Amino acid sequence: MQERMLGKSGLGVSALGLGCMGMSFGYGPPADRKEMISLIRAAVDRGVTFFDTAEVYGPFTNEELVGEALAPVRDRVVIATKFGFKLDAEGKQAGLDSRPVHIKQVAEASLKRLKIEAIDLFYQHRVDLEVPIEDVAGTVKELIQAGKVRHFGLSEAGVKTIRRAHGVQPVAAVQSEYSLWTRGPEVEVLPTLQELGIGFVPYSPLGRGFLTGKIDASTQFAGTDFRNQLPRFTPEARRANQALVELLSAIGTPKNATPAQIALAWLLAQKPWIVPIPGTTKLSRLDENLSAARIVLGADELQKLEDAAARIGLEGARYPEKLEQMTGR
C-alpha cells in the first residue's frame, strides 16, 4: 500500500484508510466485535495505517473497538476521531457542542477509550455556529501543545470556516463526503485545500454502498439502518441512480475491476493528497477496496468517465434538510 501525505501537515498515511463507523453504528445492528477486531487487524496486515472513528459512533463503542483492535500495533497506525456533538443521557445526539470545555472533555474520554496517549487527528465533527471557530481551533492548539492531540481536522466545513480555523491552528485534513455521486467539494473546498496545503479525506467514497453495485431499488435495509432516512436511498432514487453504477461497471469490465474499485480509483486519481476511507464489515470487501489502489485510470478513461457521468442526472439529496443544514458552514 502506497503512502500519501495529508497536505503539508507532515502526516503520512496509507493511500486508502478504513472507516470504522459501520462496524458499530449507522447500518443496522452492530457487527460481531471479535470479527471486527480481526478485520481491523487484517487491514493493518495489508498495509492500512489510517483508521477513522468518532465518539458518537455507537456512541462510544466504536472508539472502544478501534482502541482494542489497534493496541498491539499502535506505533504503526494513525487514528482519527472526532468531537462536536452533544449527547443526551441515553447517548443520543442532541445537537452540537464545540465549547472549549467540552472539546477537552471529549479528548480525555476518547484517549481512554482508544487506549492511546495522543489522538493523531482530531476533527470537529460538524461546525458549531454557537462557538467561534477561532475558539475551537485555539482549544485544539492547546491540546496539541499539551501532547494530547497531534493534528487538527474539520469535517464538512465551508471554506470561510476552513480559512479562519487554519489561521489559528494549521488544519491537517478536511473530511467531507465525496464520490462520483457527491461532487460538491469540487466547487470551492478542493481548490481552497490545495491553496492552503490541507489534505482531504472523503468519507462514504462508495456512496454508502450504492456504488458497489450490490444495492438496487428492491434492496431492503434493516430498521436501524441510517440509509432509510436519506432521500437518495428511496427506491425511486436508487432506480434512477443505477445508471452511475452501470457506467462504473462499463469502465471496469475491460480492466477486470468492480464498480467499487473504479469509484475508488477515480477518487485516488483526483489529487495526490486525497485519502478515501471506505468502510466495510467483510474481509472480501476489504480486499476488493484495497486492490483499487493498484488500478491506474488513464487520462482517456478519466475523461470518458467524466463525460459520461456529466450526462447522468442523479436524484435525491444526500441528507434530510435538517442534517444538510449542518454541512458546508
pLDDT per residue as tens digits for the range 257-297? 999 999 999 999 999 999 999 999 999 999 999 999 999 99
What do you get for the CA distance between the two ends of the chain, in Å?
Answer: 34
Pairing assessment for the beta strands 3-5 and 12-14 based on DSSP bridges: antiparallel
Q: What is the pLDDT of residue 190?
A: 98
Mean pLDDT value of segment 307-319? 95
220 φ, ψ to 5°? -105, 125
8 pLDDT above the threshold of 90: yes
pLDDT tens-digit profile of 27-79? 999 999 999 999 999 999 999 999 999 999 999 999 999 999 999 999 999 99
Q: What is the pLDDT of residue 89?
A: 86
Rounded CA-CA distance 261/264 in Å is 5
**Residue 90's pLDDT band (cuts 50, 70, 90):** confident
Q: What mean pLDDT value characterizes the chain?
A: 97
The residues assigned a catalytic role are 57
Which domains does the chain possess?
3-324 (3.20.20.100)
207 pLDDT above the threshold of 90: yes
Mean pLDDT value of segment 175-193? 97
pLDDT tens-digit profile of 123-146? 999 999 999 999 999 999 999 999
Rounded CA-CA distance 137/153 in Å is 9
Q: What is the pLDDT of residue 14?
A: 98
**Residue 315's pLDDT band (cuts 50, 70, 90):** very high
